[in-house]
Structures are given as structure tokens and as C-alpha cells.
Amino acid sequence: MFKLIIGNHNYSSWSLRPWLAAKQAGLSFEEISIPPRQSPTKADVLKYSPSGKVPCLVDGEMIVWESLSICEYLAEKAPSLWPSDEKARAEARSIACEIHFGFNAMRQGMPFDVRASLPFLEPSVEVKADVARIISIWESCRRRHGGEGPFLFGHFTNADAIYAPAVFRFLTYHVELPEESRKWVETMAALPAMQEWREASIAEAS
């Protein structure tokens, strides 16, 4: 059994991604949570992660850090975490990388806060552009792969895991969505693992 070192549940969007992927793939792991707002967090994280950041996966002598890299490692153990078709798999990796390395306006303007409900926030033009791009990605995936199942590429993949923080963000800020995107968000939010993450967020003191 490997160890997955995460931050807390309410604020650590990066930790949610590999955690959800592992849960959905049915992989057993020990969860170690190191809250980011407590001292000496950095020293605690460095016991596991050479980058001093979470998430981090420890599998025996193997250490994998950085959320997308962890998701790739998990897919080596559970190949279903990427689409089996090579073209769909390439697309899934592309959209995962796009949100992993981009959408900074949304990250800053719509902070990850699972417990919060902030429907009256007025987003900036830059945030609106990020939101519109994410919705266009979801709509495109659902339009072409919706017949194969309820997720972005039919069955659950790392692409869904990588966009899971956006699900919570859009719920927190009450973002209006077109039908296909709304159905996907509802599917994601209803997952037992997503509900477990939300409940853990609510239970946290800070």
C-alpha cells in the first residue's frame, strides 16, 4: 500500500486530484494530511516530499510529487485512468495539462474553498474568460464522448480528476452552466469520493 501525502481538504485543490483518481480506481492507500496553515508544515512535508510541497506519493522507495505526475503514476497501476483510444487519450492529457498549467485568473479570482458559498462574487473579465474556456472543454468532451458514459471521456479518467477542483469552485461560486456541463458537474459532485472529500472539508477546523 502506498502513502498519499496531502494538504487539508478545504483548500488543497492540488491534493484532491490524485486522491480522487486513486479512490475512483479502487487503489488502496494511506492518507497522510499535513495542514498547510500549521507550523512547522514545511519540515513535516520534507519528510516525504523533496519539493517540500504536497501532494506527494510514496510507494516503497519510489517518491512521486506534483499532482499530474502522481496521476500518471496511478495510471500505470490502473490503466483505465486514461482513455484506451490513443486519440482520446492524447486529448485527455492535453486538457489535463491545460488546466494544470493555466487558468491563473480563475485560481486567484475564485479561490478553492469547498465549505464556502459565494454566489454574489462578480468575476473579472479574465476570470470570465477562464470559466468560458473550461466550459467549452467540458461541452466538447461531453458532446463527443457522452454516449460512452457520464464522464468527460465516457468512463472516469484522470481528466475528470484533474478538473475536480473546478467542480468545487463552480459550486462554491454558483457558476451557471449549460446542460451537458451541468450534468457532468452533478455526476462528479454525487460521487461518494467527492462527498467524502466535502465532508472532510467541513470537519476541518481551519
| The one-letter amino acid at 184 | W
Q: Do 123 and 59 belong together in one domain?
A: no
pLDDT in tens, 62-103: 999 999 999 999 999 999 999 999 999 999 999 999 999 999
Exposure pattern of 32-55 as b/e (b: 16+ CB <10 Å)?
Answer: bbbbbeeeeeeebbeebbeeebbb
Number of domains the chain is built from = 2
Give me the residue label for grid cell 497501476: 77
The CATH number assigned to the domain holding 121 equals: 1.20.1050.10
Q: Which domain holds residue 51?
A: 2-79
Q: Which of 79, 113, 136 is the last residue of a domain?
A: 79
pLDDT in tens, 12-57: 999 999 999 999 999 999 999 987 766 557 788 888 988 888 999 9
Question: For residue 31, is it within any domain?
Answer: yes
Give the gyration radius of the chain's Cα atoms: 16
Model confidence, pTM: 0.95
Q: Do 125 and 188 belong together in one domain?
A: yes
Rounded CA-CA distance 124/105 in Å is 8
Rounded CA-CA distance 116/156 in Å is 26
Give me the residue label for grid cell 502522481: 70
